[in-house]
């Protein structure tokens, strides 16, 4: 049986080997990953064609029988033939002859590649979501273990107000939750069937795109056939969402990087995740944190490249878009590695609670609460209280006093100088206002660092993680049930 190929009709030369390698070489890994999706699509399309009477039932049975036998290791991906589809079609023709070509009725490589990319993207995003949810659980567990561990909160990397380590961990858990939600939302526009759009104008054969959507586990169809082969907006969404998630990880590691320094000394990396020096034997270097920062630069480059791929593209199918597939694949690989290593770093991170609390006393971090107490207990407008406490801090610094050490008379004198009035504030109120732990406990408004509020948030977030895990399980179950429906339809047709 002579090979019935794509080039023999219009073209009279074999594809140049260098040209083939240039186009398809970098896509080799993607093509191997697409094999299972292609077999799934072939089966669903042939079942649908047979049900619609667009190909004879006998031909469909012969093709489906061959597709049930074929395995990825059976098909050698010859780059001179281009993509996985052409190589698979050649293999099938070698198995059952030219009848194998009937499976291409009513479709094109354009809609095949568009649909396969969507199927592969959903698998990749589900893997990232799984790893991100695991890191979320680790952050929540770390928070629950450190509800009472008070530490400085920072703005502009300067002491701002007291918080807890739990409050910090929960903040990053919530960042991750938003990152995950973005990917889940991207899945809504990813998981749409484009099979049946053919090259761009649909087909004159009888087809049922909703049927293939059901057999392939899609939530619906992307309707316009031209949009089907031209759109890769979901890839841009995915790469952008992954870039934001990488940014979240970068910030986690940047905080850890700073806090491991001798000047801060608030956390210590586990030895298994630390480096050392070839000359300075005392060093414990945060190499992972520096690497994440470097990898984040790569990811920012990918989103820039992905956006540029789609600049000035004419409507229709363009080979440029395959570059976005590679950018997505690299992004997913980067994120999965980074999520998994971050999870282990956070899980094993040693928290120096004593040093954290010591650091609170070295600055004037309770100044805001002192101003608030003056508002609540002395009836002074906040802006005036802000000025009084600011002046108090300046005087305390000049006299070498901590805020917790300033005498009540000093603040009363400053209040008189600024407002010309007496300050009705007790010694007890002053000392409570300048105590960091009291500061934290009083910040019990929604989302605040008070242990009772962070504990509530942690319990709430645990439930939300469980809900997100269930949504993911339901999606995976949906894909699997679609595959089972397909296999049943094949068995019914063959029997």
In the chain, the largest separation of any two C-alpha atoms, in whole Å, equals 105
Q: What is the pLDDT of residue 3?
A: 46
111-359 against 367-434: fold identical: no
Q: CA torsion angle for 91, 94, 95, 99 (degrees, to 10)?
A: 100
Domain boundaries, the chain: 7-105, 111-359, 367-434
Q: What is the pLDDT of residue 1?
A: 37
Q: Which of 277, 298, 331, 404 is catalytic?
A: 277
CATH class of residue range 111-359 = mainly alpha
CB-based burial label for 314 (10 Å; 0-12, 13-18, 19+): exposed
Written as six digits, the tokens of 257 are: 């990087």
Helix (H, G, I), strand (E, B) or coil at 113: helix
Q: Are 482 and 214 in contact (CB under 8 A)?
A: yes
CB-based burial label for 199 (10 Å; 0-12, 13-18, 19+): middle
Distance (Å, whole) CA 40 – CA 480: 12
Closest CA to 151 of 362, 406, 415: 362
- The CA-CA-CA angle for residues 64, 65, 69, to 5°, reads 110
- Report phi then psi at 268, rounded to 5: -135, 135
Q: What is the pLDDT of residue 74?
A: 85
Is 277 one of the annotated active-site residues of the chain?
yes
* Beta bridge partner(s), residue 164: 150
Distance (Å, whole) CA 388 – CA 411: 8
**pLDDT tens per residue across span 127-177:** 999 999 999 999 999 999 999 999 999 999 999 999 999 999 999 999 999
Written as six digits, the tokens of 127 are: 């893997």
CATH class of residue range 367-434 = mainly alpha
Residue 471 per-residue DSSP state: H
Q: Which residues of the chain have pLDDT under 70?
A: 1-9
- 7-105 adopts what CATH topology? Fumarase C; Chain B, domain 1 (1.10.275)
Distance (Å, whole) CA 54 – CA 206: 6
Q: Which of 72, 146, 156, 253 is catalytic?
A: 156
Q: What is the pLDDT of residue 27?
A: 77
Helix (H, G, I), strand (E, B) or coil at 423: coil
Q: Are 120 and 37 in contact (CB under 8 A)?
A: yes
Is 156 one of the annotated active-site residues of the chain?
yes
Q: How far is CA 389 from CA 196, 365, 366, 377, in A?
A: 71, 12, 10, 15
Q: How far is CA 32 from CA 143, 195, 394, in A?
A: 42, 20, 67
Written as six digits, the tokens of 453 are: 């509020």
- Report phi then psi at 146, rounded to 5: -135, 40
Q: Are 35 and 88 in contact (CB under 8 A)?
A: yes
Helix (H, G, I), strand (E, B) or coil at 274: coil
């Amino acid at each position: 049986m002579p090979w019935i190929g794509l080039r023999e009709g219009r073209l009279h030369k074999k594809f140049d080997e260098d040209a083939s390698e240039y186009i398809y070489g970098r896509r080799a890994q993607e093509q191997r990953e697409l094999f299972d999706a292609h077999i799934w699509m072939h089966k669903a399309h042939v079942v649908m064609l047979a049900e619609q009477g667009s190909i004879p039932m006998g031909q469909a049975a012969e093709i489906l029988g061959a597709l049930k036998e074929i395995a990825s290791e059976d098909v050698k991906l010859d780059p001179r033939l281009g993509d996985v589809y052409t190589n698979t079609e050649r293999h099938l023709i070698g198995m059952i002859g030219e009848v194998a070509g009937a499976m291409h009725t009513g479709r094109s490589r354009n809609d095949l590649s568009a649909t396969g990319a969507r199927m592969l993207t959903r698998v990749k995003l589900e893997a990232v979501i799984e790893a991100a949810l695991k890191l979320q659980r680790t952050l929540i567990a770390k928070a629950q273990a450190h509800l009472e561990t008070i530490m400085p909160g920072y703005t502009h990397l300067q002491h701002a107000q007291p918080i807890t380590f739990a409050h910090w961990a929960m903040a990053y858990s919530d960042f991750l939750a938003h990152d995950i939600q973005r990917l889940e939302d991207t899945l809504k526009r990813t998981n749409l069937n484009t099979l049946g759009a053919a090259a761009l104008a649909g087909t004159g054969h009888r087809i049922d795109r909703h049927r293939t959507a059901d057999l392939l586990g899609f939530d619906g169809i992307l309707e316009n056939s031209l949009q089907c082969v031209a759109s890769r907006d979901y890839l841009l969404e995915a790469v952008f969402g992954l870039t934001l998630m990488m940014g979240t990880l970068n910030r986690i590691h940047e905080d850890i990087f700073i806090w491991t320094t001798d000047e801060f000394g608030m956390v210590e990396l586990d030895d298994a995740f630390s480096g050392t020096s070839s000359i300075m034997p005392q060093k414990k270097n945060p190499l992972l944190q520096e690497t994440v920062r470097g990898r984040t630069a790569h990811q920012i480059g990918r989103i820039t490249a992905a956006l540029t791929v789609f600049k000035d593209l004419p409507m229709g199918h363009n080979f440029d878009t395959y570059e976005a597939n590679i950018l997505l694949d690299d992004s997913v690989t980067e994120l999965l590695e980074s999520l998994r290593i971050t999870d282990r770093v956070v899980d094993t991170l040693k928290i120096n609670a004593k040093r954290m609390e010591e650091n609170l006393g070295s600055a004037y971090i309770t100044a805001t609460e002192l101003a608030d107490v003056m508002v609540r207990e002395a009836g002074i407008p906040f802006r005036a209280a802000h000025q009084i406490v600011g002046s108090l801090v300046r005087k305390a610094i000049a006299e070498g006093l901590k805020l917790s050490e300033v005498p009540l008379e000093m603040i009363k004198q400053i209040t008189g100088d600024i407002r010309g009035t007496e300050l009705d504030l007790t010694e007890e109120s002053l000392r409570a206002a300048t105590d960091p732990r009291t500061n934290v406990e009083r910040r019990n408004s929604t989302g605040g660092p008070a242990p009772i509020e962070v504990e509530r948030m942690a319990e709430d977030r645990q439930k939300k993680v469980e809900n997100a895990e269930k949504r993911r399980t339901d999606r995976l179950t949906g894909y699997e049930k679609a595959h089972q429906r397909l296999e049943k339809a094949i068995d019914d047709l063959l029997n």
